[in-house]
């Protein structure tokens, strides 16, 4: 049981770090669009991918917490 709790805590931390990283990527993506480094089309595709990844990570994190 202690091992399971430890693994869950480490997994929570890793998932939260991944979520924070994706949120940072979205901020940088917004700045890239504002600065004209990428097109609106590139932005839209990348933002959709990042948001999909965030949704999946949050789903996994929520399911770990409920177990």
Confidence at residue 10, expressed as pLDDT on a 0 to 100 scale = 81
Is residue 35 exposed (0-12), middle (13-18) or buried (19+ Cβ within 10 Å)?
exposed
Helix (H) / strand (E) element for 67: namely none
Instruction: Give the pLDDT of residue 2.
Output: 42
Whether residue 51 has pLDDT greater than 60? yes
pLDDT in tens, 5-38: 455 678 899 999 999 999 999 999 999 999 999 9
């Amino acid at each position: 049981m202690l091992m399971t709790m430890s693994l869950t805590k480490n997994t929570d931390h890793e998932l939260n770090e991944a979520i924070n990283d994706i949120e940072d990527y979205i901020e940088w993506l917004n700045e890239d669009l504002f600065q004209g480094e990428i097109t609106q089309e590139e932005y839209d595709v990348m933002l959709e991918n990042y948001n999909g990844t965030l949704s999946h990570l949050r789903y996994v994190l929520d399911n770990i917490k409920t177990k």
